Amino acid sequence: MRAASLVGLSGLFVILWSSGWLASQLAMNDLSVMNLLTARYLIVLLGLLFIVTVAGQWRRIRLSDLLGQLCVGILSHGIYLITALGAFQQGVSAAVVTFVITLHPIATAMLSGSVNHEQFTARQWKGLFVGSLAVLVLISHSHGQGTSGLALTLPFMAVIALTLGTLLNRHLELENQSANTTPLPVFFTLLIQSAGALIFLLPIGAIQGSISMDFSSRQWVLLLWLALVASIGAYAVLQLLLRNMPSTQVACLTYLVPPVTTIQIYLVFGEQLDSIDLTGILLAAAGVIWVMTSPNENSSDSQYKLQPRAPGQRQPTLTSLNLRISTNSGQAVDIEL
């Protein structure tokens, strides 16, 4: 996929993902977490069944892939949203929840090397550190305003679930690429993940008696937005990004979600932004720019490798040195000096 397309998809992902936080905060003025999520994913499942059937995207799938995608759905959709929205219900603002969840990139970076063998440079670690400072600034500010420590643990649980789900999702994609198998259609993959989310959500909703589809017109508008735009739309873009970018770089896009969400909240709810909020936004923006524009190697934008000479050829000198420059896009250029 071309770099320009990835940039466009990245921007679209941030906008769609951010809108989900705002719509969730509006919906939870009237609905409980479980009622919101069970209704949302029932709509998502029905919508995806329709899309997959009309588009002819039904495919045979190995049992291991099926179970893997179900687990991704439980982690990245079910546990992630129930803990994040639970934080809303406990009084944590949407801006703070999204900032805590931006710990997701650093957690992903710490684990992606061992799980998916993806490299992360020292410069990118510095970018993650700067972005994490933004999280600490916002968290300390919110806790100082009276938010309980227990409520603030819920977004951290969401971070763990989303990180594990992202790594598992990327691992499944890399396995398919290494086996040269045709990737599953995006909406078919999302259908399986949404089924996994419902497997997790429905028993909890049934126990709590929170399953209801009797909503006002305003609630239906918000639910349809969350289901069609924030779930199907945002997660479809996320799936495409994970097929074409390292999981850590995809995770780093969440650094851009809090600034966009904070601005949306300001425009809709009129919540004022103080100097600490603005400081956190600027730090987050600086961190993601640092990470996303970092080279693949510590020393330069390209990877330099000496190419061995055939037996009998003279030893390399400044006039007989072969360099192979592998660019970030994977293209190789040989230069003889």
Kindly tell me if the per-residue pLDDT of 158 is higher than 90. yes
Measured in whole angstroms, the distance separating CA 291 from the mean position of its chain's CA atoms is 15
Whether 328 shows a pLDDT value over 50: the answer reads no
How far, in Å, are 35, 135, 210, 325 from residue 32 at the CA level? Answer: 5, 27, 8, 55
pLDDT of residue 231 exceeding 60: yes
Residue pair 116/290 in contact (Cβ under 8 Å)? The answer is no
Residues across the chain: 337
Q: Read off the pLDDT of residues 69-99 as tens digits, 9 standing for 90 and up.
A: 999 999 999 999 999 999 888 887 766 776 6
Beta-carbon contacts of 181 under 8 Å, excluding residues fewer than 6 positions away, are: none
DSSP code of residue 74: I
Under 8 Å between Cβ of 294 and 124? yes
Rounded to a whole number of angstroms, the CA Rg of the chain reads 22
Give the tens place of pLDDT for each residue, 7-51. Answer: 899 999 998 998 998 898 889 888 999 999 999 999 999 999 999
Predicted pLDDT of residue 146:
55
pTM score, whole prediction: 0.76
Q: Where does the chain show beta strands of DSSP type E? A: 303-306, 322-326, 332-336
- The closest of 244, 293, 238 to 13, measured between CA atoms, is 238
CA distance 245 to 227: 25
